[in-house]
């Protein structure tokens, strides 16, 4: 697609021509706002598929995981919050499982995309929508869920350039968006162990993710409750670029067709955890999604469903393998929980 054919690309190009290169985070945020705002990207016909779309067992086990904590706390009134709920499939499956033990929380969805809010409205009854976490209710403990949400939040990158570090920017040249080196970064703000990395090394940070993490951890500390993040990511500030674009289930360049490809970056769990701990909550994990789901009984659940529906036994076994398989989602995806120190330690870690 040529830049002239996309209004968003044209707008970005004009901005860069008028004011100079923009940050990676700015490019990322603008592209994804358009991307999610204009389509439902999930499923076979879309660009990517997520765990709740692969199997109902994923949301059900998560619902039971929250319900277990609720029972151990003697059934307080709670709100169920989901950040970036996609089609609402996880919430639907989790709420159905929660209801089996009598847990019926109010439902709050943090979602910026109107297109996806419409899908969520089809799948869920009576949710309250929020643009961001600042308007979440403050009158009861929170059960907060985020599956493949943090990877969609913008990142910044810095690049080693000879003896110094520079911010990475996006420029527009010869009709294309191209990464470019920007202003120098003071050495003091580069993590000490990485300061002397080799020429061309990249470090990523996600200020937007750290801000959301701080806000929700502070809520959990003040109001009670637990949060669960499932996403692909790594532990500890590291060298290397994870910024990527996905289109039609294939990796693609993140700098082409802004707003037409899903931009993501791996989640830095150590930095999120450090921010959460600063707010006074306790942490569990991260551990591999496969290990965590297996400890919650996914293998037994798949077998039980197969016994009840013998014609679909193979389907449930396949879904199980995709969720826990080391070469599928089991290892790259991680489960990571944070909880109020007066609440019981969550299961599965
Ligand atoms: N959790 C769902 C969807 C993951 S896709 C699933 O597992 O299937 C990412 C979701 O986050 C989408 O619903 C998208 O619209 C939403 N999203 C992306 N950026 C956001 C932002 N800045 N604020 C709120 N929601 C956002």
Across residues 192-204, what is the average pLDDT? 94
CA distance 13 to 4: 10
pLDDT score for 4 = 65
Whole-number Cα distances in Å, 108 to 71, 87, 89, 189: 21, 14, 14, 37
Distance CA 65, CA 152 (A): 25
Instruction: Average the pLDDT over 213-224 and give the result.
Output: 98
> For the segment 140-183, what is each residue's pLDDT rounded down to a tens digit?
999 999 999 999 999 999 999 999 999 999 999 999 999 999 99
**Ligand 1 centre and the CA of 30: distance in Å?**
14
Helices (H), 188-264: 207-223
* Sign of torsion over alpha carbons 98, 99, 104, 106: positive
Give the rounded percent of residues in the chain with a pLDDT score beyond 70.
99
Tell me what pLDDT residue 2 has.
Answer: 62
Q: Is the pLDDT of residue 220 over 70?
A: yes
Tens of pLDDT, residue by residue over 66-80, are: 999 999 999 999 999
65: pLDDT confidence band, cut at 50, 70 and 90?
A: very high
Probe residue for ligand 1, chosen from 49, 51, 86 as the CB with the greatest number of ligand atoms within 8 Å: 86
CA nearest to 184, candidates 154, 155, 158, 156: 158
- The yes-or-no verdict on residue 205 having pLDDT over 90 is yes
For the chain, give the mean pLDDT.
96
* pLDDT the model gives residue 164: 96
CB under 8 A, 24+ apart: contacts of 240-249: 240/201, 240/202, 240/204, 241/157, 241/202, 241/204, 242/204, 242/266, 243/24, 243/28, 243/155, 243/157, 243/204, 246/47, 246/48, 247/47, 248/47, 249/47, 249/48, 249/49
Please report the DSSP string for 252-273 in residue order: E-TTSSTTTSEEE--EEHHHHH
| 148 close to ligand 1 (CB < 6 Angstrom) | yes
Whether the pLDDT of residue 211 is over 80: the answer is yes
pLDDT band at 238 (very low <50, low <70, confident <90, very high): confident
Mutating to test ligand 1, I would choose from 40, 54, 83, 84 the residue with most ligand atoms within 8 A of its C-beta, which is 84
Q: How far is CA 327 from the centre of its chain?
A: 20
- In contact, 247 and 45? CB cutoff 8 Å: no
Report the pLDDT value the prediction gives residue 126, as an integer from 0 to 100.
92
pLDDT at residue 291, rounded to an integer = 97
Give me the mean pLDDT over the 198-203 stretch: 96
- Measured N-to-C along each axis, helices 114-123 and 24-37 cross at an angle, to the nearest 10 degrees, of 50
Q: How confident is the model at residue 234 (pLDDT cuts 50, 70, 90)?
A: confident
DSSP 68-107: HHHHHTT----EEEEES-TTSHHHHHHHHHHHTTT---EE
| pLDDT tens-digit readout, 121-141 | 999 999 999 999 999 999 999
Look at residue 5 in the predicted model and tell me its pLDDT: 73
CB 259 near ligand 1, within 6 Å: no
85 in contact with ligand 1, CB cutoff 6 A: yes
Q: Is the pLDDT of residue 1 over 80?
A: no
Beta bridge partners of 263: 245
Q: Identify whether the C-beta of residue 120 lies closer than 8 Å to the C-beta of residue 201.
A: no
Q: How far apart are CA 16 and CA 44, in angstroms?
A: 35
Distance of alpha carbon 80 from alpha carbon 15, whole angstroms: 40
- CB within 8 Å of 104: residues ≥ 6 apart: 95, 98
Does 209 contact ligand 1 (Cβ within 6 A)? no
CA-closest candidate to residue 298, choices 2, 35, 61: 61
């Amino acid at each position: 697609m040529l830049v002239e054919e996309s209004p968003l690309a044209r707008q970005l190009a004009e901005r860069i021509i008028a004011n100079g290169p923009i940050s990676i985070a700015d490019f990322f945020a603008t592209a994804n706002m358009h991307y999610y705002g204009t389509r439902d990207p999930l499923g076979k016909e879309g660009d990517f598929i997520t765990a709740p779309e692969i199997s109902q067992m994923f949301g059900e086990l998560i619902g039971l995981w929250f319900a277990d904590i609720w029972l151990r706390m003697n059934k307080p009134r709670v709100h169920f919050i989901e950040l970036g709920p996609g089609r609402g499939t996880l919430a639907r499956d989790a709420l159905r499982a929660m209801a089996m033990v009598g847990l019926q929380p109010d439902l709050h969805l943090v979602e910026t995309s109107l297109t996806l809010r419409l899908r969520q409205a089809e799948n869920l009854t009576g949710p309250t929508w929020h643009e961001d976490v600042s308007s979440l209710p403050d009158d009861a403990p929170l059960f907060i869920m985020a599956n493949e949400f943090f990877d969609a939040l913008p990142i910044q990158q810095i690049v080693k350039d000879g003896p110094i570090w520079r911010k990475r920017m996006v420029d527009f040249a010869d009709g294309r968006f191209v990464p470019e080196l920007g202003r120098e970064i003071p050495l003091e703000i580069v993590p000490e162990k990485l300061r002397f990395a080799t020429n061309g090394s990249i470090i990523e940070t996600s200020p937007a993710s750290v801000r959301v993490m701080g806000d929700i951890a502070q809520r959990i500390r003040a109001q009670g409750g637990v949060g669960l993040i499932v996403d692909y990511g790594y532990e500890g500030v590291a060298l290397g670029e994870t910024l990527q674009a996905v289109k039609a289930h294939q990796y693609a360049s993140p700098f082409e067709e802004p707003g037409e490809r899903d931009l993501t970056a791996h989640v830095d769990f150590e930095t999120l955890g450090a921010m959460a701990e600063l707010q006074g909550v306790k942490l569990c994990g991260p551990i591999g999604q496969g290990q965590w789901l297996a400890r919650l009984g996914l293998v037994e659940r798949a077998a039980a469903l197969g016994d009840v529906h013998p014609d679909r036994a193979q389907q449930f076994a396949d879904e199980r393998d995709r969720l826990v398989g080391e070469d599928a989602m089991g290892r790259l995806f991680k489960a990571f929980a944070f909880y109020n120190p007066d609440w019981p330690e969550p299961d599965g870690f």
